Structure 1
Amino acid sequence: MATIKTLEELETFGLAEAVREKFSAALKNGQLVFAPSKHEQYTDEATGMRCELMIVEGLSKRPINRPTQPGSDEKISSDKLEQVKKKNPFMKPEPELTVIQDLVGEYRLILNKFPNIEEHFLMVTKEFVQQDTLLKPVELQLMHTILGQLNTSQSRFFAFFNSGPESGYSQFHKHIQFMKLPPNFEVYQDALVAGSEFFIPRELDGSEQPLMNKQLTFKHFVLKLPRKFASEEEQSTSLAMMYMYLFKRVLNVFKEQGLDSTKISYNFLMMEDWMMIIPRSHAFFDGVWQNSLGFMGLFTMKDLEVKNKVMHHGIGTILQECGFPLGSDDDRAKYDEFGY
């Protein structure tokens, strides 16, 4: 198992091949709960959003390890937290699933034991850290650098982070996930950033706003990223500033709605040339569980019953109910003395 001490080492590691070989070996030896799913492409009539519908075998078998359930007002007690830590699969991951044992001293890269798609893997903290903590600058750097190592003309990966009790995570140990897009799948974020210029937003200047697809039903905020940064310092500073700007958008949504600040939840997604945040109000709607993937247009479902619910309600309705409705004023910044 590899040890990577610096970002520079990671850039020359050959990560794509390492993930592919580890996944193939683990699948052959029965260490993954995975069967290729049938992919069905679908365009939501209400929003025009291109979607990929997948029934994923592992979703009905994966363990759920959370101190509280979505929608609960229960406070996280020390006893509950200790129970979660004891059942934590990320503290001592299986060697057969470990791609990088030591990543810049604080992290590991491991395969998802219950993958949604081939080569689905995670970056986890080596020590226990709660999932609802903020992303660190180094974590954002690692996400961007890893994506740069994985993406080719034939294969595109994205990263996502589910944070907060209503964000749709199943494990309370801090983890960032990496998945590749299905073949020939186009994401709406690409069209948003295609005609825009990179900029670092400033709270007091309302002239440059996050990008949005006005046809969608849910609040979302997208910022374009440059393909390359001049230095690691510029990469760290720029990514951190942009992430915190988006996070403050989530804080303002919760404040405007008069919601409990202890339940702030969001999904954060990144590809090589954009980052995006979606404030979350509920983890599920009528039993249809959503994490970051649904807001990418990737609907993974555990069985046909859930798929029927998705088709009955419509993707636009489900995402709106799990997020916050996109209003007519979402194209204007709301910065005043009461905003973040």
Structure 2
Amino acid sequence: MNAAPLTSAALWSRTLAVTRHALETGALQPIATEARTVPVVGTAFQVRVLGKVALKERRRPAPSSSSEPFNPFANPEPDLVLGDVPPAHVCLLNKFNVVEHHLLLVTRAFEPQDALLTLADFDALSTCLEGLDGLAFYNAGETAGASQRHKHLQLVPPLGPERLRAPVEALLPLLPGPGHVVAAESLPFAHLLAGLGPWGAPGAGARMLAAYRLLREALGLAERAPYNLLVTRDWMLLVPRRRAEHLGVNVNALGFAGSLLVRTPEQFDAVAALGPLELLRQVAGVSP
């Protein structure tokens, strides 16, 4: 890992440099997909279909003598690391990325992926969002689409279309002020939305933490209940989860952002016929 902390100003240039190097060394192994879209009233959802090569099972680490499962974040590959993010995280590239320049913000000390987010998490996230005005997300637990047990938030560049951080942004209502939550009438699944106030104001991490706690309380989430969290500089959306998949399609936070991943063309056809919003309703529950 880099000794010097990663600053907001250096994040994007560092992302590009580490990506180039990691591709050259083979540390970064992007997953090939075919990008398609499915119309939704007011926007279009992105659906990526895995390529045939990506469907083959990748080589897994040799089993160790320990009963603990392999943790790729315990000692991340140096060629993937951008640097430390104070107070308690390290930023690295997602080794098997579908979206280009997909960043992971991992706690240096182990914490479980279904643990509550903390001020340290949001302070580190605000540093990264200052350097990349994109979409951050968190998959709280396996039911919410998490594939690793070690706590990590994720950040991707804007998904679009146009200047949107995510397709779902076109469906959101006027943002409420800090301290208030609202549901979007256009989203037929359980969720709540909070506004974060002006980005340039000090204390972005604390404002995110306050909004996160407010959303959890308003939705009545138990401490270890599974959920997905979407965060931008402007807003935060929380979606409680009741199951991991529907029609064989696993859904994580990016699905609620308007970006789904399916394994086969047949799964794409099934999602298109059902409708992406109905797919999300099936895994998240019905809006109260």
Superposition CA RMSD, Å: 2.7
Deviation at 1:211, TM superposition (A): 2.7
Residue of structure 2 equivalent to 1:181: 158
Matched, 1:115 2:100: no
Matched, 1:218 2:189: yes
Deviation at 1:122, TM superposition (A): 0.2
Between structure 1 and structure 2, the one with the greater Rg is 1
Matched, 1:199 2:178: yes
Kindly indicate whether the alpha-carbon contact (under 8 Å) linking 2:29 and 2:95 is maintained by their aligned counterparts in 1: yes
Q: Secondary structure at the match of 2:105?
A: strand
Going from structure 1 to structure 2, the CA distance change for 1:217 and 1:197 (only over 3 Å counts) comes to: closer
Deviation at 1:136, TM superposition (A): 0.6
Residue of structure 2 equivalent to 1:172: 149
Matched, 1:40 2:36: yes
Matched, 1:282 2:243: yes
Matched, 1:52 2:32: no
Kindly indicate whether the alpha-carbon contact (under 8 Å) linking 1:23 and 1:119 is maintained by their aligned counterparts in 2: yes
Give the residue type in structure 2 aligned to 1:18.
R
Residue of structure 2 equivalent to 1:72: none
Distance 1:323 1:183 in 2: 23
Deviation at 1:158, TM superposition (A): 0.6
Kindly indicate whether the alpha-carbon contact (under 8 Å) linking 1:211 and 1:221 is maintained by their aligned counterparts in 2: yes
Residue of structure 2 equivalent to 1:301: 262
Distance 1:60 1:218 in 2: 33
Give the residue type in structure 2 aligned to 1:144.
S
Residue of structure 1 equivalent to 2:229: 268
Residue of structure 2 equivalent to 1:314: 275
Q: 2:82 aligned to 81, 96, 99, which one?
A: 99
Kindly indicate whether the alpha-carbon contact (under 8 Å) linking 1:90 and 1:173 is maintained by their aligned counterparts in 2: yes
Residue of structure 2 equivalent to 1:143: 125
- TM-score of the superposed pair, with normalisation by structure 2: 0.86
Going from structure 1 to structure 2, the CA distance change for 1:305 and 1:277 (only over 3 Å counts) comes to: same
> 1:248-259 counterparts in 2 under 5 A?
248-251=217-220
Deviation at 1:285, TM superposition (A): 1.0
Between 1:269-278 and 1:215-224, the stretch displaced more is: 215-224
Deviation at 1:317, TM superposition (A): 1.9
Distance 1:138 1:59 in 2: 37
Q: 2:27 aligned to 26, 31, 52, which one?
A: 31
Kindly indicate whether the alpha-carbon contact (under 8 Å) linking 1:144 and 1:271 is maintained by their aligned counterparts in 2: no
Residue of structure 1 equivalent to 2:8: 11
Deviation digits for residues 289-335 of structure 1 (CA, Å, limit 9, x no counterpart): 000011011012233233233223321221111001124xxxxxxxx
Kindly indicate whether the alpha-carbon contact (under 8 Å) linking 1:192 and 1:211 is maintained by their aligned counterparts in 2: no
Q: 1:163 aligned to 132, 137, 140, which one?
A: 140
Residue of structure 2 equivalent to 1:68: none
Give the residue type in structure 2 aligned to 1:94.
E
Distance 1:227 1:326 in 2: 28
- TM-score of the superposed pair, with normalisation by structure 1: 0.74
Kindly indicate whether the alpha-carbon contact (under 8 Å) linking 1:36 and 1:117 is maintained by their aligned counterparts in 2: no
Kindly indicate whether the alpha-carbon contact (under 8 Å) linking 2:175 and 2:235 is maintained by their aligned counterparts in 1: no
Q: Secondary structure at the match of 1:38?
A: strand
Kindly indicate whether the alpha-carbon contact (under 8 Å) linking 1:59 and 1:301 is maintained by their aligned counterparts in 2: no
Kindly indicate whether the alpha-carbon contact (under 8 Å) linking 1:56 and 1:116 is maintained by their aligned counterparts in 2: no
